[in-house]
Structure 1
Amino acid sequence: MFGWLQKNPELYAEILTFNQVALPSADTPARECRYLVLDLELTGLNAKQDHIVSIGWLPIVEQHIRLSEARHYLIEAPVSVGQSAIYHGLHDSDLKDAQELADVLTFLLKQYPGYIFVAHHCRLDRAFLQIAFQRHFGKAPRMLFLDTLNIEYHRLQKLGSRLATDALRLPQCLARHHLPVSAQHHALEDAYGCALLFLSQLKKSHSAITLGDLQLHSR
């Protein structure tokens, strides 16, 4: 039952330490929270059998992106990336000196307790991270995610806008907010685009918007 404790007690302890830092309450003004915007590149869409091949992230503090803390990691894949290279552009040769996933996740836990996580279509990123933590650490940390895709959907619905089929893809959202659109499927570039979108969404929200409001808009 407790076999994992004998394998990686240090990693499990990192989860416990991370979870000890309280998250902001739902009534906290959204503009006062600290956020970590991230993106993953993957070998597929099944979190139970596919793998993370790169991670990019940037923190947002006091409504400013901290570019000095931007990070991009290539991740060791236990199997060949195969045809998924068509999408993310990473080949097996690119990953031969890549980082171990557990090391990258440990750094994330140490640096960003108490942060709210943000991603575009976060359900996929959250699922892969939760399973990765469970596999390497024995437990997934308490991570509160906001989804810029759902926030944008809620915003457009409130405006009465008609949505085209691809209207909620990240490039289309960025263009709608008159923000620069970079090449897709690079984890750090997509995380940066998501951060710009999130800040624009905050700016267009009412002045008293709370974290709880954003959680409702993210569903």
Structure 2
Amino acid sequence: MLGWLIKKSPLYEQVKQFNAVALPALTTPARQCNYLAIDLEMTGLHARQDHIVSIGWVPIVKQQIELNQAKHFLIKPPVSVGQSAVYHGVHDKDLKNASELSDVLQQLLTDYPGYLFLAHHCRLDRAFLQLAFQRQYGKAPRMQFIDTLNIEWHRMQKQGTVMKKDALRLPQCLQRYNLPISAQHHALEDAYSCALLYLTQLKKSHPDITLGDILQQSS
């Protein structure tokens, strides 16, 4: 038991250091915050039994997408990707030189404290990340997610728009704003698309919209 505590302690400290960096106050103008659009591809939809096979992220700083800091990692899962390759296009043969999940998680902790995380339909991405951190570090960091799908639902409801089937899927949201549509189920491309969508949602929002307003729309 003592050996486990000694082994986990340095990792636990990294989570504490991440959490020690305060997020912007709710009254902060949303356009002044830093964001990290992130997307995961997995072997399935159940965080406790399925595995992450790729992670992509794109930072947004001062309303600018920082493409030079965008990252895409293939992650070698402990089992075969199986039939899930049909959806995300990542096969076992592609993962021979894949990154260790622990290294990618550490980079998130090191590089993005104080950032707000963006995802389209964030529930799955958040669940997989939280469980991965718990398994690797013994504790999940406090990651504040903003869901561009929920923001879009809020906007359409406010406008009285009749929502057709699949109207809130990422490609349909992009098409609605005449934004470029890239290949689906590629972690980096989906993260970039999420970043584009969010910046467009911000642009079309009230000039004084705050982080608190955005979080309310996102919930």
1:75–1:101 contact (8 Å) kept in structure 2? yes
| 2:186 aligned partner, one-letter code | H
Contact 1:4–1:138 (Cα < 8 Å) also in 2: no
Q: Secondary structure at the match of 2:46?
A: coil
* Contact 1:56 1:187 survives alignment (8 Å): yes
- C-alpha separation in 1, matches of 2:64 and 2:95: 32
Q: CA deviation at 1:92?
A: 0.8
The letter for the 2-side match of 1:167 is A
The Cα shift of 1:7 comes to: 2.8
Which amino acid in 2 is paired with 1:23? Answer: L
Secondary structure of the 1:8 match is helix
Question: Partners of 2:13 and 2:31 in 1: how far apart?
Answer: 31
Deviation, 1:3, is 6.5
Q: Could you say what the CA RMSD is over the residues aligned between the two structures, in angstroms?
A: 1.1
Q: Note the residue ranges of structure 2 that are not aligned, 5 or more in a row.
A: none
Give distance in 2, aligned partners of 1:27 and 1:63: 17
State percent identity of aligned pairs: 68
Taking the aligned partners of 2:102 and 2:148, their CA distance within structure 1 comes to: 27
Say if 2:13 is the partner of 1:13. Answer: yes
Instruction: Look up the match of 1:24.
Output: 24
Aligned length: 219
- Hey, what does 2:218 align to over in structure 1? 218
What secondary structure is seen at the aligned counterpart in 2 of 1:190?
helix
Deviation at 1:8, TM superposition (A): 2.5
Match of 1:196 in 2: 196
Equivalence for 1:73: 73
Deviations along 1:47-97, one digit per CA (max 9) or x if unpaired, are 111000000001001000000000000001000100000000011111111
Residue 157 of structure 2 aligns to which amino acid in structure 1?
Q
- SS of corresponding position for 1:36: strand
In structure 2, the residue matched to 1:49 is: 49
1:130-185 per-residue CA deviation (whole Å, 9 max, x = no partner) reads 00000001000011000000000000111100001100000000000110000101
* Rounded Cα–Cα distance in structure 1 between residues aligned with 2:141 and 2:54: 20
TM-score (norm 1): 0.98
TM-score by structure 2 length?
0.98
